Amino acid sequence: MRKDSFYPMPMCPMMVGTMSKPIQMPMMPNDAGQSGQYTDAPVVAPVTPPTTVIPPDFEIEPGAPVQKDISYTQGYLKTKIGKYIKVEFLIGTNMLIDREGVLLEVGISYIVIREAGTNDELMCDIYSIKFVRIFKDQDEERPSRR
């Protein structure tokens, strides 16, 4: 069998044995332009892009739905940025610790709060959060205990 011929692969099991003759591949002149020498390069038709572009129809802008949708913890907490919060974290299986301060930032897997006493920024693991208390009308100051 020649180098420039091949057997086509059957498309389904019923076609096995129906194509027994090899198909001749078209031969192309080589890049050097020498007469009589051909290569086995296939011809590739140019691809034309579509002429009309349809804008996407989004209900909400694209991005991580976890951060945009208030049905998720991250999305809900993003609506509370700037508020004074108290966050309780579960450490291990039975230890709760709490931190409080102004919510500065919400990421996919973390939150950043500015602690009340020190003004330090504290990054916290969002997956350890069990409870978040959001104090009303207390943007930058510690809430008064009544």
Q: Quick: pLDDT tens for 90-129.
A: 999 999 999 999 999 999 899 999 998 899 999 999 999 9
Give the CATH number for residue 117.
Answer: 2.30.30.520
Task: Return d(Cα 139, Cα 145) in angstroms, integer.
Answer: 15
Tell whether 27 and 87 lie within a shared domain. no
Tell whether 40 and 78 lie within a shared domain. no
**Total domain count for the chain?**
2
Tell whether 125 and 69 lie within a shared domain. yes
Question: Is residue 87 assigned to a domain?
Answer: yes
Question: Is residue 3 assigned to a domain?
Answer: yes
Question: Is residue 88 assigned to a domain?
Answer: yes
pLDDT of 70 reads 78
Q: Which has the higher per-residue pLDDT, 13 or 108?
A: 108
pLDDT of 84 reads 94
Tell whether 11 and 69 lie within a shared domain. no
- pLDDT surpasses 70 at 130: yes
In sequence order, what are the beta bridge partners of 101? 85, 115
Question: Is residue 41 assigned to a domain?
Answer: yes
Task: Please identify which residue in the block is written with the tokens 């809900």.
Answer: 76
Task: Please identify which residue in the block is written with the tokens 């208390």.
Answer: 133
* DSSP string across 6-70: EPPPPSSGGGTTT--SPEEPP-EE-TT--TT-EE-PPP-PPPPPPS--PPP--SS-SS-HHHH-T
Question: Is residue 52 assigned to a domain?
Answer: no
Task: Return d(Cα 40, Cα 43) in angstroms, integer.
Answer: 9
Range of the domain at 36: 1-47
Tell whether 73 and 27 lie within a shared domain. no
- Residues 104, 80 contacting (CB under 8 angstroms): no
Tell whether 84 and 32 lie within a shared domain. no
Question: Is residue 93 assigned to a domain?
Answer: yes
Question: Is residue 142 assigned to a domain?
Answer: no
pTM above 0.75, yes or no: no
End-to-end Cα separation, the chain, in angstroms? 95
pLDDT tens digit sequence for 19-58: 555 556 566 655 555 555 555 566 676 777 666 766 666 6
Q: Which has the higher per-residue pLDDT, 72 or 46?
A: 72
Question: Is residue 143 assigned to a domain?
Answer: no
Sign (positive or negative) of CA dihedral 15, 20, 22, 23: negative
* DSSP string across 72-114: SHHHHHHTTTTSEEEEEEEETTTEEEEEEEEEEEE-SSEEEEE
